[in-house]
Amino acid sequence: MSDKMKIVAAQEAIKNVKDKMKLGLGTGSTVNEFLKILSEKVKGGLDIVGVVTSEKTRVLSENLGIPLTSLSTVKSLDLTIDGADEIDSDLSLIKGGGGALLREKIVAYNSKKLIIIADKSKIVSKLGDFTLPIEVSSYEHEVTSSRIMRKLESIGYEGSIKLRLINDSIFVTDGGNLIYDLSIGLISEPYIVEQLLNSIPGVFENGLFINLTDHVIIGEEEGVKIIKK
């Protein structure tokens, strides 16, 4: 997505932010554009407080002067703004390309509203072209990854699973866990796959976000498109 489309989506998203709101702050390059705009509003007197979904977002937010708190302090959030890797027509998502899916899902789940900002390349008819990230415990993770494949095969999916590496080193999440990226083709029943994956000991979360999104703001060459359920 060009920076311009990210900025346009972020500019539309900021219209949903009101004084005194408690905000969930997602992760990724699109959210980074939102944080820059939010910081300008804060400097102009907007009174909000944010809960971050990653250490990257924390560092940028702190540098931009956005006041932060924790979810346990505020208990629940009014609104979360986040990005996505894929969005289907039910507004179900694949997230976790940036490796922050566990914290992103905790924050989204505890937010009254979730708005996704993205470009139109993220819209798909069915989820699954993008690999599905799964956050697992590092303890005996190879066993967990075999279990994941066997469970999926038992409901008719085939494919491959790969431990995420960054520059040939194992990628470690902010929570100290590992990510496996799963390729099983198009996912016809995202809800069933989400539940099945999360039933396996060793799996902390997966990147399927079902029934969490309120609306999606798509940045386009000529303005924005808003998709509601």
Query: Site residues (CB under 6 A) for ligand 5RP?
Result: 26-30, 82-85, 95-101, 104
Closest CB 118 distance from ligand 5RP, rounded Å: 7
**Sole residue written with tokens 């998709």:** 227
Catalytic (active site) residue 222 = no
Give whichever of 17 and 135 is closer to ligand 5RP, judged by the CB atom.
135
77: phi then psi, degrees, rounded to nearest 5: -115, 150
Looking at the Cβ atoms of 17 and 102, the one nearer to ligand 5RP is 102
User: Residue 106, class by beta-carbon neighbours within 10 Å (0-12 exposed, 13-18 middle, 19+ buried)?
Assistant: middle
Q: Which of 12, 33, 104, 205 is catalytic?
A: 104
Q: Minimal distance in Å, beta carbon 186 to ligand 5RP? A: 19
Q: In the structure, how many helices (H) and strands (E) does the chain have?
A: 7, 15
CA distances to 8, 90, 115, 116 from 226, rounded to whole Å, are 12, 14, 10, 10
**58 or 95, CB closer to ligand 5RP?**
95
Shortest spacing between CB 154 and ligand 5RP, in angstroms: 28
Give the active site residues. Answer: 104
